[in-house]
Chains A and B, each alone.
Chain A
Amino acid sequence: MKVKKIFWQSNNDINRKSALFNSLILFILLIICYVVISDLRHISNPQDKIFPSLQQIEQGVKNSLTLNEAGVISLLADTSSSLMRFFIGIILATAVGVFLGIGLGVFPFLESLFSRFILYFDKVPPLALLPIIFIFSGLGEPTKILLIVIGVSPSITLDIYLRVKAFPKEQIIKAITLGANKYKIITKVILPQISPAIINIVRLNLINVWLFLIAAESIAASEGLGYRIFLVRRYLAMDIIIPYVLWIAFLSFFIDGVLAKWAKYQYPWYNK
C-alpha cells in the first residue's frame, strides 16, 4: 500500500541531492532579484552606485585583488589581518571560557566568587565598553583582541559552566571509585565529554566574534575586512562592500562548517 505523504510529516524524507538543490533556490532567487533591480536602476540612472551591476562588482573584486598604491593586495591583506585577530580572539576567549566555566562548575568557592560577577558583565553590551577599552589600552592590536575576549568569553563561560553543572554525578562517583582524583575527573571525565559541546558553543559564538571584530576594526585599524568596509562606505563603493560582506559571510560559514565536520569526525559518540 502506498503511504500518502503530507509535506509536514516526518515520513516525507528528502534525499540529499534534492535537499542540496532546494537550498540553492533562495540563493539563485536573491541573485536574480538583485540583477533585475540593478538593471532597472541603471536604466533610469547609469551612474547608480547603490546597486552596482555584476560587472561592476567583478571589477571591484578585481581591484581588491590587484596591488594597490600601498603595494598590497587589499583583499588578501585585509583577510589575513582580520583572520589573525579573529582566531587569536576566539582561541583566547574559548580558553578563558573553558577554564572559568569548568572552574565554576567544579569548585563551589569559585562559583560563589565569580558566577554573579560574570552574569553581571555578560549583561553589559561590549560595544558600550568599546570607548572605555580604547581609552584604557589605546588603538593597537591588543585592544581589538581584548574587545573580542571581553565580548565573547562571558557567554562561553556561562554556557560551559551550565554544562559542567548538569554533568551526571554518577559519572563522577564512578570515576572516583576507579581511582580518579579531582584533577583527573576534570581532565579525563568532564573535559573529554563536554568537548563536542564546547565546539558547538564556539560555533554559536562565531557571529559575535565577527561583530566585535568588525566594530573594533571600524574604529581603529589600518587594514582588515571591517576597516575596509567602513573606509569605502564614505565613497558609497558598494562594488567593494557587497563582495566584502559576502566574503565575510563565506569565511564564517566555512569556519563553522569545518568545526561542525571536525566535531562529528572527532566525537562520533556525541548526541547518540
Chain B
Amino acid sequence: MSMNKKEIAIEFKNVKHGYGEKTILNDLNFKIDQGEFLTIVGPSGGGKSTLLRLLLGEEIPTQGKIKFFGKEITEPTKDFGIVYQNYSVFPNLTVLKNVAFGLNLENDKFGYKYFKSSKYIKNSKQIIKNAKEYLEKVNLLEAADKFPYQLSGGMEQRVAIVQALIMKPKILLLDEPFSALDPWTREQLQIFLMELYQKEKTTVIFVTHDLEEAVYLGTRVLVLSPHNLVKDVIGSKIIYDAKIKEPYPRLSEFKTSLSLNKILADIRKFAFV
C-alpha cells in the first residue's frame, strides 16, 4: 500500500487571525494528512468561513503560518478545488460548459480560439469527451445542455463538485455545500460525496454547521468553537479533534447508530459549555 507513509497536506502553525481589534481565530495548530476527509464543524459566526478563506489564500493570517505541502499559502491557486453553498456554478454556462470550464481555460493557452489551431481543436474535442465522462460518473449526462437554473439544488451541487474535481485539485474544499438542500437530497449527496471520495482518493475538507453531518462524513472531525473553557482566550479555537474510525461505505443507518451518537455526545460535552 502506498498509503503507508502519508504526506502532510496542510499544516497550521500557531495561526491567529482577525480584523483590526477583533480576533476571529486563535491558537490553531493542526496538520491535515493527504487523503483525509476532514470535516470542520462549528456554530455560525464561529470562524469557519474565515478559516476557509485562509486555506484558499484569500487572506493571510495576522500571525503564524499555513503551509501547503511545506509551502506557505499566499494566494488562491489551482491546488484547491472549491464548492460553495451559493453561487456554486456559473449561471451563464450549460452544465457541460461548467464542467469543462477549467480545462477550456487551459486549452486557451494553446489558444487562438479564433485561429483554431489544430492542437486547440484536438484538445477541445478531448475536453468535451472528458467532461462527458465525468458527467456520466455522476449521472448527469442527460442534463449536459441544461442551464443551472433548470437544475434542482442537488443536481447543481453535483455539477459544482464535478466542475472542481475534473481539474484534479490536490485538496477539495466544500463550504456548507449541502446546507440549503432538503433532508432527502442532502442524504443522497452525502452518500454521493463519500463514494466519490473513495473513488478519487482526494483530500477533502468539508465545512458544515451540522454536527451529525460532520461525524457522518469525515474520517476526522475538527470542532471549531468560540465557546472556550479558557475564558481569557478570544477568538475561536479547536476544541475537539478526533478520527472517526467507521469504515466506508457508511450507510445511512450509521447516522442513527450507537457509535455515532456516542461521538456526538462526546463532542457536545466539549462544545456546548
Contact = CB atoms under 8 A, between A and B. Distances in A.
B164 interface: yes
B163 A178 contact: yes
B90 interface: yes
Q: Of residues A171, A267, A269, which shows the largest number of chain B Cβ atoms within 10 Å of its Cβ?
A: A269
A177 B149 contact: no
Contacts of A173: 56, 58, 76, 82
A180 B90 CA distance: 13
A125 interface: no
Nearest to A195: B92
Given A173-B76, A174-B84, A184-B105, A269 B147 contact: yes
Interface residues of A, number: 21
Interface string A169-185: 01101111111100010
B76 A178 contact: no
Contact of B90 (A176, A193, A270, A272): A193
Contact of A180 (B87, B105, B169): B105
A61 to B, nearest CB: 45
Interface string A93-105: 0000000000000
A178 B78 contact: yes
Contacts of B142: none
B249 to A, nearest CB: 28
A267 B82 contact: no
Most chain-A CB neighbours within 10 Å: which of B90, B93, B167? B90
Interface residues of B, number: 28
Nearest to B175: A170
B90 A177 contact: no
A165 interface: no
Contacts of A177: 56, 76-78, 80-82, 164, 167, 169
B21 interface: no
A125 to B, nearest CB: 37
A269 B148 contact: yes
Contacts, number: 65
A173 B101 CA distance: 14
A193 B58 CA distance: 22
Contacts of B90: 171, 174, 189, 193
B105 A168 contact: no
Interface in B139-154: 147-149
A192 interface: yes
Contacts of B149: 269, 272
Given A170-B84, A269-B147, A269-B149, A178 B91 contact: no
B253 interface: no
Interface in A143-183: 168, 170-171, 173-180
B237 to A, nearest CB: 26
Contacts of A168: 86-87
Interface string B87-108: 1101111000000011001101
B105 A179 contact: yes
Interface string B58-90: 100000000000000000111011101011101
A268 interface: yes
Interface string B5-22: 000000000000000000
9 contacts: A174-B90, A177-B76, A177-B164, A178-B78, A178-B81, A178-B163, A179-B78, A188-B101, A270-B92
Given A192-B93, A269-B91, A272-B149, 7 more contacts: A168-B87, A175-B101, A177-B167, A178-B78, A179-B78, A179-B167, A269-B148
